[in-house]
Structure 1
Amino acid sequence: MHASMSARLGADFSKLWTASAVSNIGDGITMAAGPLLVASLTADPALVAGAAFAQQLPWLLFALVSGAYVDRLDRRKLIVAVNLLRGLVLGALAVSVATGTTGIPVIYLAFFLLGVGETLADTASAALLPAIVPPERLASANARLMATFTLVNQFLAKPLGAGLFAVSAALPFGVDAVSFAVAAALVATVRPVPAQPYERVPGGLRAEIVAGVRWLWGHRLMRTLALSMGLANVVFCAAFAVFVLYARRQLGLFEIGYGVLLTTFGVGGLVGTGVAVRLQARFGAVALLRAGLLVEAGTHATLAATTEPLVAAAVLVVFGVHTMVWGVIAATLRQRVVPSGLLGRVGSVNALFDVGGAAVGSLLGGLLAGAWTITTPYWVAAVVVAAIAVAAWRPLAQADAI
């Protein structure tokens, strides 16, 4: 089955997909080992959380700039160069850990540089995909990439990262460095594609970024998708920033139960990537996008109301399916409708909405739960997403025409 899928998507996609799988293994390993490394040096929760923030911060600072450079430069070569540089950063971190010379500032710097590279490589990969996959196969390609991320990064790599750290604190970072080198070598074998049409705008980089923002804002469907995802991400992250406390106080679950509940997202995500293309063929993009907003509002309301772990687990599986189906459709629509020379900049605006929403939501969730009850963020999320569904209902009707 995988062989026939690869044949339909092409040899170059297979190389890009394999590179993504390899680098996702490394990413997941580092995501698990990074907090363990910081925790081995300090017991301060703020410092431990700071490592994750250091890797997210570049998305807030550089997402739009990175998008402009993705449109200016050869995307294939950019991915190769960035992966090699990320490998060097991780190799240096591994040496620092192995020699006992690392410290919190060194770790933060390494994670910040990895985040900067991520803004470039992730944006470039999404923009490169339409150049190597036929338009009618984009949904299948996006679904396969998302399925690989869910399986490899969320399920397999994180336990592996913790296990490698137990063997040697430096080992997971060394393995991740090798993964980036391998990914770079794979992408380097992708056939060069014609340079994307790119018109420099008078006024330099800032004007080029503004051109991308204006294009997105002027396209009703793309604007609706970006705003819907961004606002929904604010309230989603507000609710799930206190998820560990919700599981304990509302559902009566502790460490093991909480861990099992977390896996329901991944289970639903895997199912979602497997059925996204077939569901779109059967029901159309409009129906699925609209239904997804209703599912999201219903998920938050159900979690706020229930005290039954099995009910919460079931609704989270459905929510996981929705997130992947929505993600596949939104990414495919963007790749089909946005001009090639603007894909990097428009994609970076979407990423800024997503990450910015996550950052704002994470802060908001703690404030809401602290001021009222642990379920308040979930009730607020249900109301906000319902309002998003009402506002987005008519603009989403354009999706089936693309």
Structure 2
Amino acid sequence: MSRHSRALTPAFTRHWTAVAVTNLGDGVLLAAGPLLVATITTDPVAVSAAMFAQQLPWLLFALTGGALADRLPRRTLVVAGNLVRAAAMAALAAVIAAGTPALWQLYLVSFLFGTIETVTDTAHSALIVDSVPADRLGRANARLHVTAMLTNQLAGPPLGALLFAISVAVPFGLHAVVCALAALIVLRVPVEHRPPPVRATLRADIAEGLRWLWRNAGLRILALCIFVMNFAGVGAFAIWVLYGTRHLGLTDTQYGLFIATGAAGGICGAWTYNRLETRFGQTTLLRAGLVVEAMTYLALAVTDNPWVAGAIMTVFGMHAVVWGSVSATARQRATPSELLGRAGSVYQLASVGGSVLGALLGGFVADRFGLLVPFWVASAMVAVMTVLAWRRLADVRAGQPVQQ
């Protein structure tokens, strides 16, 4: 196959640009949001409540959002959702410029953003699948993963802190602009998805999606893997700053560089993904990724050398992009277009649900039993998951769900 025929589509390029823009805006808010809350209150519960308010809708409405993404025109959902987010953030920026906002206003905007994301993120993910040939989905997912990592985690937070120092309202106004820009970009994407005629209730749509996924042994175990990996991983990384500064003895500047090692590994993962998938196949990569994840937490628990820990995190960053890309690709290839929203929403629910529970328990375990205990627990949990999932991961087949 020629190099030109393997190129990603113009439609995907627009999607990719929209993802880069919105993730940069989200990364800006990762720093500016908590800084704003901290200017209003120093209560740890009140500070963490803003992040929880944005995550809570995923636990409440993820499945509903997935059903809507299959029932309604996906491009329309994405465009409308981004425009609503732009309006809400512009209003918040105006309130901030006029004075100090109330905490309830921040919580309300956070909850509104999270609610909209349950629909727009799921619809956009399905819309991207509609825009990329099946044999190029892996490359597309790898590019999206590393773009989100670079903009959301690496570039966005420092920019958000800098803009916040210049003027408190500026980062929030910037986010309003990027949401509107993303809406305009997606509006130029050709419409591929044609929703079927509405013949059932929303609840029946959700039930149909859950039944389909439950009967698919490979995709069912993949969802369980994602839940366990997020539960274990976020539980360990919830005390990441303490691991870096207390256990490894890093300064603030060194800690920032330490965080960047994961992004460097992610770039390598995206660069090599296509060759890895072609050579080893999805089943081998999924299995190997679970082993790497379990060994990562074990290695972090036994080392106190910053250079070794940095090397471990570089490998982990590469693994995160490769495993995230291959798992998304395997699920997308095996899911009919009319079920992409509902299947994707189950994985979002598993991911966010695991993250929320892990964050809640990780700090408690570290405080009660020791700083390194969450890493030992995470390694053991993923190791058990590896044994349980090893055979079932071979059941994920492109377009051929395996019935139990």
Flag whether TM exceeds 0.5 (same fold). yes
Residue of structure 2 equivalent to 1:42: 41
1:358-385 deviation per Cα after TM superposition (whole angstroms, max 9, x unaligned)? 1111111122212211111111111111
The 1-side partners of 2:132 and 2:26 are apart by 25
TM-score (norm. length: structure 1): 0.95
Q: CA deviation digits over 1:329-365, x for unaligned, max 9? A: 1111111111111111111011101100011111111
CA 362–340 in structure 1, closer or farther in 2 if over 3 Å, else same = same
Q: Counterpart in 1 of 2:339?
A: 342
User: For residues 64 and 198 of structure 1, do their structure 2 counterparts lie closer, same or farther at Cα, with a shift above 3 Å needed?
Assistant: farther
Cross-structure match for 1:122: 121
Tell me: CA distance 1:15–1:5, structure 2 relative to 1, closer, same or farther (3 Å). farther
Structure 1 residue 152 displacement after superposition: 1.7
Q: Find the aligned partners of 1:131 and 1:401 in 2 and give their Cα distance.
A: 15
SS at match of 2:343: helix
Q: Contact 2:330 / 2:397 at 8 angstroms: preserved in 1?
A: no
Q: Structure 1 residues 32 and 7 mapped into 2: Cα distance closer, same or farther (>3 Å)?
A: farther
| Other structure's SS at 1:139 match | helix
Q: Structure 1 pair 308/285, CA: closer, same or farther in 2 (3 Å)?
A: same
Question: Among residues 288, 291, 297, which one is paired with 1:291 in the alignment?
Answer: 288
What displacement does 1:97 show? 0.2
Q: What secondary structure sits across from 2:279 in the alignment?
A: helix
Alignment of 1:276-355 (within 5 A): 276-355=273-352
Greater CA drift, 124-133 or 292-301 = 124-133
Q: Distance in 2 between matches of 1:257 and 1:314?
A: 14
Query: Cα 1:359–1:244, aligned 2, differ >3 Å: closer, same or farther?
Result: same
Q: Give the structure-2-normalised TM-score.
A: 0.94
C-alpha spacing 1:219/1:170, structure 2 compared with 1 (3 Å) = same
Cα offsets for 1:314-340 (capped at 9, x unmatched): 111111111110111111111111111
Deviation at 1:302, TM superposition (A): 0.7
The 8 Å contact of residues 26 and 157 in structure 1, kept in 2 or not, is answered as yes
How far apart are the structure 2 equivalents of 1:324 and 1:23?
Answer: 19
Which moves more between the two structures, 380-389 or 48-57? 48-57
Q: Does the Cα contact within 8 Å between 1:238 and 1:366 map onto a contact in 2?
A: yes
Change (3 A) 1:389 1:166: same
More divergent stretch after superposition (86-95 vs 124-133): 124-133
Q: Would you say 1:66 and 2:65 are equivalent positions?
A: yes
Aligned to 2:157: 158
Q: Could you tell me how far apart the structure 1 residues matched to 2:394 and 2:33 are?
A: 43
- CA gap of 1:277–1:346, structure 2 versus 1, over 3 A, is same
1:6 & 1:25 partners in 2: Cα distance? 30
Amino acid at match of 1:335: Q
CA RMSD of aligned residues (A): 1.7
- Kindly provide the amino acid, as one letter, of the partner of residue 286 in structure 2: L
Q: State the distance in 2 between where 1:152 and 1:240 align.
A: 20
Distance 2:70 2:296 in 1: 38
Deviation for aligned residue 1:252:
2.0
> 2:250 aligns to what?
253
Partner of 1:379: 376
Shift of 1:400: 6.4
Where structure 2 has 5 or more consecutive residues not aligned to the other structure, the ranges are 400-404
Contact 2:334 2:397 in 1 (8 A): no
Counterpart Cα distance in 2 of 1:40 and 1:327 = 36
- 1:28-69 residue CA offsets vs partner (Å, 9 max, x unmatched): 112211111111111222222221111111111111111111
Query: What displacement does 1:199 show?
Result: 6.4
Partner residue in 1 for 2:402: none
Following the alignment from structure 1 to structure 2, what is the Cα–Cα distance between the partners of residues 218 and 86? 36
Q: Distance in 2 between matches of 1:243 and 1:342?
A: 37
Residue 207 of structure 1 and its aligned partner are, at CA, apart by 2.2
1:210 to 207, 231, 240: 207
Moved more, 375-384 or 150-159: 150-159
Q: What's the CA shift for 1:26?
A: 1.3
Question: What are structure 1's unaligned runs of at least 5 residues?
Answer: none
Distance apart, 1:101 and its partner CA = 4.9
